[in-house]
Structure formats: structure tokens, C-alpha cells
């Protein structure tokens, strides 16, 4: 009988020779092993096209551990690697799946695994549906243990393609067996959003349109498209970052407190936020969203090329590498509060931050000529620093009639940097435990595409005439600043006349 909480399992990894497996998955599996989250009753089967054998596979897994920053304990490295097996697999070959099934059965006997099977699709999305249907038709999704499918993004490229993909994988897996990865949900401080909100009496009562002026979410990257030009030029920042990571952060920030901390209750509150997002009409997209594409510039004093000169990018490309947007949530809590998001490549620095700006005091007793009282801010530092800061006002020592902003910092990873687990490690562990809370439900995926598709359609219809419109190493096009200016706000940190920056 299937016991859903039994963690003894085989992880079947499609895309075992790929970059994600090397950079994130093998180090994560190792850390889970080291921490005792994987018992001796586990196996990993690597599948990919290459004709590797177990020895080559294990050598590669070991190399990926050494390349990562994790600490390896030599005393158990060999016994860890013994759990790794490889079978070459052409995803369209029935015979290859039959070999896989035989290997699964053998390993389940060897390691005394009760038929629990985790299928991890870490490869090109066009094969997701094919793999799922072979897993079913060849009897690999078995009846004796649990079956789970972990699926990487992108989950489709718009709502119709996502629906199509979903119906293909639903042929073989039930919704509660599908774990759609959004790796932002595995980040320590993204998971902390709920705790900050729901475990602190000083925030939750203020968390609404009576006290909050706006919320800003910035996820900037200094890297360009690197080796991923082929994928990125078809995707762009809207589909690559906004449809998933950015909207997930919006949902966590805006959701109502769930009645219980269960997967279903949390997801249902997030879904309500996505349903309440004010949909945009095609003709009004430009009033709410700004797109950008980077030109050449300087990052850390090094000259970098513009997007159109990168490898595998169309020299006339109309793809956006930057998006800024203003979202409105039509419900009682958030009516009238803009949520601004911005994300892009080749920006000034790699950083993800959320800034909650509180409304001004009803009257400023300390107002003196040009000095305006600073608004209170709650800053959630997602990465690279992890922590929170609160900006309050204090007395300026020399003048009782003036105030000065004071920043109170709590830095999570400053305390114990080495122990902050990687997002992938946490998500993999959750999936092994059968906890889907930090994975996206189909309804979230569908609602996010529905919101984003209109923006994409508007941009497809009207090519950007001003691309490239921001220099590498800057915070994006000036139109992104105008978006907030029209509402009387500006992006933080642009704190003038203050001796701190966020």
C-alpha cells in the first residue's frame, strides 16, 4: 500500500547530464543525505541521451559536488555515490522506458524501496508531455508506492500552451502528485514573508490600504543572458520572471491569513489574490507596464555588450530584458494600493528586495522648510543578503524640530551564513515529504498566464521602437521611474539627503 509520508524513494532524474542537475540538484541531494534526510533506502537514476555508464555518471556527480561550495565529508562520499545509477534514455523510445522500469524494479529490491518514485523533469520543456505519457503507458507510474512528478519551469509559454501541457501531464499524474517548481518559493526570505506577516502583531494590523502607500518588488540581475540566448530570446523577462517568481511574491505579500498553515489553505489564499489582480485591457498596457532591453554598458568597470550582440540573439530582437509594472488588486484589503514590480538583466546589481512603504503621518509636527518626514519602510531582503530592515524616524541630535530616518537591521544570513539551505535543497526535501505548499498549483499557473498574456499580446502587436533603451549597469529605462512618479512615488533606494541606503 502507498504510504504518502514514506520518504524512502527512487529519484528518476531526466536531464541528468544538464546544467541544473550539476549546479543545483546533485549538491542538494548530497546535503539531504548528509543531514540524514535520505535514509539508506534511496536511489537516484540519471537519465539522458548520452551513453554513460554508472561509473561515468558517478564521476560527474562527484565533480559537481566538488565544483559547488558545499562541504564534502570524504568518509561517506563513496557510499553516497553508490546510490547513483544511470540509464541512457531517448525520451521518445518506448524501449528506453522499459529499460528504465526494469532498472527501477531492480534498485527497489536492492535498496528495499517500497515502490515510491519521484520523477524530476530537469530538461527541455517540449518533452514534458511525452515523458509523462510514456511513464504511464509503460507502467512506470506504479501502484505499489507513491508517484510524484517534479516539473521545472517554463510551464508553457502562454495560457493555451500551459493548458495543453497540463492536460498531458494530468493523463499520468493527479494534481496532488504534481510539484511545479518555482525556485523562489524555496528561498529562505520568500518563505519568511508569511512569518513576518502572520507572526508579528506590529505588522498584520497595518497590512492594508489604510496604512500602506505602496509595495515595491525589485529583482535585478547584473548578468546578461549568458548561454541561454536561444531560450531567452523567445521568452523575455515577462515570461521568464514575472509570470512566475514576481507574481508568486505578490501573492504571498497580498494574501489573507490562511485559516491553517496547510497546503490547501495557503494555496487557496494565494489563488484568491491572483484572481483579484485587476486585468488589463490590451489598449491600456502601456499605462501600467514598461519594457526595456539592455544596450552595451559597464558592469563592475567591465565593458559588456548589448543584448542584440549576445550569442543566439536576433540582432533585431524585440525581446524585453527588463519589465516594470504597476499591479492593482481589487479587494477590500488592497483597493487603491499600487504594487510595483521590476526585474531585468544587466542591471546595476544582483539583488531581490521588497519594500513596503507606509503612508505618511496625518500631519507633520516636525515639518521645517524643505525637510519632509521620511516614510516608514519595511524592507525584506531576499538576496543576496537575507534579512529585514525597518526604517523609522528619530530625532536629529542637533535640532529637536527635525527628524532623521533610522534604519534597524536584522540580517539573517549574517548570523549563520553557511547553514542557509539552498532553495533547491528545501524544495526537493518538501517533495520527498509530499509537502506541496511551496510549489505552484495549476490554478496559480493558469491565473498568472492569464494576467501576463495580455501584456505580451500588446507588446507583440506594437514593436518597441526605442530598444535598446537602457544601458547595462543601470536600473532600467527612465520610463520605469515615470511609472511611480505619476503616483507621487519613487523606487527605493533613491534616498536623497540621507546617510543610509537600503
Which CB sits closer to ligand BG6, 189 or 285? 189
Asked if 152 touches ligand BG6 (CB under 6 A), the answer is no
Q: How many C-beta atoms lie closer than 10 Å to residue 142's C-beta?
A: 17
Give the total of residues touching ligand BG6 (CB under 6 A).
4
* Min separation Cβ 218 and ligand BG6, Å: 11
Which CB sits closer to ligand BG6, 87 or 243? 243
The residue ranges of DSSP E strands in 328-376, in sequence order, are 339-344, 351-358
Which CB sits closer to ligand BG6, 112 or 226? 226
H or E segment to which residue 165 belongs: helix 159-172
In DSSP notation, 369-382 reads TTB-PPPPEEEEEE
Distance between CA atoms of residues 360 and 376, nearest Å: 8
* Min separation Cβ 242 and ligand BG6, Å: 11
| Helices 54-67, 26-34: crossing angle, 10 deg rounding | 80
Which CB sits closer to ligand BG6, 19 or 73? 19
String marking each residue 177-196 x if it binds ligand BG6 according to CB under 6 A: ------x-------------
Distance between CA atoms of residues 469 and 478, nearest Å: 9
> For residue 277, how far is the Cα from the chain centroid?
19
* Min separation Cβ 380 and ligand BG6, Å: 14
Asked if 310 touches ligand BG6 (CB under 6 A), the answer is no
Cβ-contact 242, 327 below 8 angstroms = no
| Strands of the 470-472 sheet, one edge to the other | 302-304, 294-299, 470-472
* Min separation Cβ 401 and ligand BG6, Å: 44
Q: Closest by alpha carbon to 391, among 401, 381, 404?
A: 404
Q: Closest by alpha carbon to 451, among 322, 321, 319, 329?
A: 329
Asked if 221 touches ligand BG6 (CB under 6 A), the answer is yes
Peptide bond just before 384 cis, omega within 30 deg: yes
Q: Dig out the grid coordinates for 179 from the structure.
A: 510539484
Cβ-contact 88, 48 below 8 angstroms = yes
Catalytic residue among 245, 381, 429, 441: 245
Distance between CA atoms of residues 304 and 225, nearest Å: 12
* Min separation Cβ 496 and ligand BG6, Å: 28
Out of 240, 269, 320, 425, point to the residue binding ligand BG6 (CB under 6 A). 240
Which CB sits closer to ligand BG6, 134 or 184? 184
* Min separation Cβ 194 and ligand BG6, Å: 19
Which CB sits closer to ligand BG6, 83 or 353? 353
φ, ψ of residue 472 in degrees (nearest 5)? -55, 140
Scan for cell 561550495, then name that residue: 69
* Min separation Cβ 347 and ligand BG6, Å: 11
Q: Dig out the grid coordinates for 353 from the structure.
A: 528586495
* Min separation Cβ 250 and ligand BG6, Å: 16
Report 381-410 residues binding ligand BG6 (CB under 6 A). none
String marking each residue 106-145 x if it binds ligand BG6 according to CB under 6 A: ----------------------------------------
Q: Dig out the grid coordinates for 235 from the structure.
A: 521568452
Which CB sits closer to ligand BG6, 219 or 357? 219
Which CB sits closer to ligand BG6, 7 or 222? 222
* Min separation Cβ 228 and ligand BG6, Å: 7
| Helices 442-461, 263-276: crossing angle, 10 deg rounding | 20
Percentages helix, strand, coil for the chain (3-state, rounded to 5) are 40, 20, 40
- Based on the residue annotation, tell me whether 490 is a catalytic residue of this protein: no
Which CB sits closer to ligand BG6, 182 or 194? 182
* Burial class of residue 370 (count of CB atoms within 10 Å of its CB; 0-12, 13-18, 19+): exposed
| Nearest residue (beta carbon) to ligand BG6 | 240
Distance between CA atoms of residues 309 and 297, nearest Å: 12
String marking each residue 334-353 x if it binds ligand BG6 according to CB under 6 A: ------------------x-
Strands 351-358 and 377-383: antiparallel
**What does R_g of the chain's alpha carbons equal in angstroms?**
24
Sequence-distant (6+) residues with CB within 8 A of 481 are: 490, 491
User: What positions carry a catalytic annotation?
Assistant: 245
Q: Which residues bind ligand BG6 (CB under 6 A)?
A: 183, 221, 240, 352
Amino acid at each position: 500500500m502507498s504510504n504518502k509520508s514514506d520518504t524512502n524513494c527512487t529519484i528518476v532524474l531526466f536531464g541528468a547530464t544538464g546544467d541544473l542537475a550539476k549546479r543545483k540538484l546533485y549538491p542538494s541531494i548530497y546535503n539531504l543525505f548528509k543531514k540524514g534526510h535520505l535514509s539508506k533506502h534511496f536511489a537516484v537514476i540519471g537519465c539522458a541521451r548520452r551513453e554513460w555508464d554508472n561509473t561515468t555518471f558517478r564521476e560527474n556527480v562527484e565533480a559537481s559536488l566538488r565544483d559547488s561550495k558545499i562541504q564534502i565529508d570524504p568518509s561517506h562520499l563513496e557510499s553516497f555515490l553508490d546510490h547513483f545509477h544511470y540509464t541512457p534514455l531517448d525520451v521518445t523510445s518506448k524501449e528506453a522506458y522499459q529499460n528504465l522500469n526494469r532498472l527501477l524494479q531492480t534498485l527497489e529490491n536492492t535498496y528495499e524501496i517500497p515502490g515510491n518514485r519521484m520523477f524530476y523533469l530537469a530538461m527541455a520543456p517540449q518533452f514534458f508531455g511525452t515523458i509523462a505519457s510514456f511513464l504511464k503507458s509503460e507502467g512506470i507510474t506504479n501502484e505499489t508506492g507513491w508517484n510524484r512528478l517534479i516539473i521545472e519551469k517554463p510551464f508553457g509559454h502562454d495560457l493555451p500552451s500551459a493548458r495543453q501541457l497540463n492536460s498531458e501531464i494530468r493523463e499520468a499524474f493527479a494534481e496532488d502528485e504534481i510539484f511545479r517548481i518555482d525556485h523562489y518559493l524555496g528561498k529562505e526570505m520568500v518563505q519568511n514573508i508569511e512569518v513576518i506577516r502572520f507572526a508579528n502583531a506590529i505588522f498584520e494590523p497595518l497590512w492594508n490600504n489604510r496604512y500602506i502607500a505602496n509595495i515595491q518588488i525589485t529583482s535585478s540581475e547584473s548578468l546578461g543572458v549568458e548561454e541561454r540566448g536561444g531560450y531567452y530570446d523567445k521568452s523575455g523577462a515577462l515570461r521568464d520572471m514575472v509570470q512566475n517568481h514576481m507574481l508568486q511574491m505578490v501573492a504571498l505579500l497580498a494574501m489573507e491569513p490562511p485559516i491553517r498553515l496547510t497546503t490547501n489553505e495557503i494555496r487557496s489564499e494565494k489563488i484568491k489574490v491572483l484572481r483579484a489582480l485587476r486585468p488589463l485591457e490590451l489598449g491600456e498596457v502601456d499605462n501600467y507596464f514598461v519594457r526595456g532591453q539592455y544596450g552595451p554598458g559597464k558592469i563592475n568597470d567591465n565593458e559588456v555588450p548589448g543584448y542584440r550582440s549576445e550569442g543566439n540573439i536576433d540582432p533585431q530582437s524585440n525581446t524585453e530584458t527588463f519589465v516594470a509594472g504597476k499591479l492593482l488588486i481589487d479587494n477590500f484589503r488592497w483597493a487603491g494600493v499600487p504594487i510595483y514590480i521590476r526585474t531585468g538583466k544587466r542591471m546595476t546589481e544582483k539583488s531581490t528586495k521588497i519594500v513596503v512603504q507606509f503612508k505618511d503621518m496625518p500631519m507633520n509636527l516636525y515639518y521645517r522648510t524643505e525637510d519632509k518626514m521620511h516614510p516608514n519602510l519595511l524592507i525584506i531582503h531576499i538576496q543576496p543578503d537575507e534579512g529585514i530592515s525597518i526604517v523609522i524616524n528619530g530625532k536629529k541630535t542637533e535640532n529637536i524640530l527635525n527628524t532623521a530616518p533610522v534604519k534597524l537591521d536584522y540580517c539573517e544570513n549574517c548570523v549563520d551564513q553557511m547553514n542557509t539551505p539552498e532553495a533547491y535543497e528545501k524544495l526537493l526535501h518538501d517533495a520527498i515529504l509530499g509537502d506541496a505548499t511551496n510549489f505552484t498549483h495549476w490554478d496559480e499557473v493558469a491565473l498568472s498566464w492569464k494576467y501576463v498574456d495580455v501584456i505580451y499580446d500588446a507588446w507583440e502587436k506594437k514593436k518597441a521602437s526605442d530598444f535598446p533603451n537602457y544601458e547595462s549597469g543601470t536600473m532600467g529605462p527612465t520610463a520605469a521611474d515615470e511609472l511611480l512618479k505619476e503616483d507621487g512615488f519613487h523606487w527605493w533606494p533613491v534616498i536623497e539627503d540621507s546617510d543610509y541606503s537600503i
